[in-house]
Amino acid sequence: MDNQESKWVRAFTNIAFIKYWGKANEELMIPMNNSLSLTLDAFYTDTQVHFLTELKQDELYIDGELQDEKSLDKAKVILDLVREQAGIQDHARIESINHVPTAAGLASSASGLAALAGAASLAAGLDLSQTELSRLARRGSGSASRSIYGGFAEWQQGSNDLDSYALPIDDANWDIGMIFIIVDDKRKDISSTEGMRRVVESSPYYEGWVQSTAEDLKEIKVAIAERNFIRIGEIAESSAMKMHALNLSAQPPFNYWSPDSIIAMRKVEELRDSGYPVYFTMDAGPNVKLICKQSQMDEIYELLLKDYRSDQLVRAHPGPGMQVLAGEDLP
């Protein structure tokens, strides 16, 4: 088919302050609770898609390297939905460039699948609204639904394919930032899908999670509106700990922490005890993310350098929403 529409699309990763941890419908990717995240500028993915008649199967190139079948699973869900909507039969060639600092071990599916939703729909000639893009990205990876937007975004769980999508909450253009503490760059051995399945099926605390998350969400939205940094940090840290407590209470139990994750969390607490308003959050992996005021970020970074190498620390600011690249931004 004609590929005049193929454009490079950039999407930034996001880190949840109120975690998504459980699916009500795995196929449609409907979550058990609303979640809320901050899109960050430090990690992003650039993607271009071509639908080509001569291809025998879909192909995914990341940083120039052809990936195996398995790595295409999530991407295929998005490609199939786009093909169906646009009435296209051709297979696709996806080219992605991941801008993730080396050794970060943070390659997030959020930026990758959001960028793919944008690039694939453009290549197919579909003119999707942000809500439609969020719904499409969601089908590849739930957290990707939030990366359509910059700043704080909330993924409203909804109950079906049409009403489950993210909305922007606040541009976060104020004094908030994050330092990633990379303690380990190994891939997680329990996928988020498997982890979520296990807690929903077996944690006796799951109901409590759903209830308390609704309360946390209400409160953090007020705190964001008031720019109450301390309250935001407290709620975010507590949401992360509750998510990880679900994992410990599942059958069989599991966790994503390494000994160095615990050391990093202690470090954040020490900084807090010494007067810095800093909080941590963690996802489905061992790395720790420190939430801080942007105005204190360099000072805190210097303090962390006493315990970490500079390649273990990444400073991030609130990032923008998904964008079509032009001019000098083109890869």
Q: At what angle do helices 192-202 and 229-248 cross, to 10 degrees?
A: 80
Q: What is each CA distance from 265 to 10, 121, 129, in whole angstroms?
A: 32, 41, 40
Angle of the 130-140 helix axis to the 109-123 helix axis, nearest 10 = 120
Which residues 242-281 are close enough to bind ligand PMV by CB under 6 A?
Answer: none
| Contacting ligand PMV within 299-328 (CB under 6 A) | none
Q: Does 283 engage in binding with ligand PMV (CB under 6 A)? A: yes
- Quick note: the x/- pattern for ligand PMV over 198-237, rule CB under 6 A, is ----------------------------------------
Phi, psi (deg, nearest 5) at residue 231: -65, -40
Query: For residues 72 and 194, what is the distance between their CA atoms, to the nearest angstrom?
Result: 18
245 CB burial (10 A radius; 0-12, 13-18, 19+) = middle
Q: In the 8-state DSSP scheme, what is residue 177?
A: E
Q: Is 16 in the site for ligand PMV (CB under 6 A)?
A: yes
Q: Is 35 in the site for ligand PMV (CB under 6 A)?
A: yes
98 binds ligand PMV per the rule CB under 6 A: no
DSSP state of 188: P
Task: For ligand PMV, give the closer residue by CB, 6 or 33.
Answer: 33
Query: Is 139 near ligand PMV (CB under 6 A)?
Result: no
| 39 phi/psi in degrees, rounded to 5 | -80, 140
| 74 or 83: CB nearest ligand PMV | 74
Note whether 33 binds ligand PMV by CB under 6 A: no
- CB-CB contact of 188 with 244 (8 Å): no
Smallest distance, ligand PMV to C-beta of residue 50, A:
26
Judged by beta carbon, residue 130 or residue 193, the one nearer ligand PMV is 193
Q: Cα 104 from chain centroid?
A: 15
Q: Which is nearer to ligand PMV, 224 or 271 (CB)?
A: 224
Q: Does 13 bind ligand PMV (CB under 6 A)?
A: no
Beta-carbon neighbour count of residue 26 at 10 Å?
A: 11
The alpha carbons of the chain give a radius of gyration, in whole angstroms, of: 19
Q: Which of 13, 34, 164, 192 touches ligand PMV by CB under 6 A?
A: 192
The region of 60-68, 82-90, 135-143, 295-303 touching ligand PMV under the rule CB under 6 A is 135-143
Enter the tokens of residue 68. Answer: 């195996």
Dist. CA 1–CA 90, nearest whole Å: 8
Segment near ligand PMV (CB under 6 A), from 65-73, 136-144, 175-183, 308-316? 136-144
Q: Which is nearer to ligand PMV, 6 or 147 (CB)?
A: 147
State which of positions 47-86 bind ligand PMV (CB under 6 A): none
How many Å apart are CA 306 and CA 230, to the nearest integer?
A: 25
The answer to the question of residue 284 lying near ligand PMV (CB under 6 A) is yes
Interface positions with ligand PMV (CB under 6 A):
16, 19-20, 35, 109, 141-143, 192, 283-284
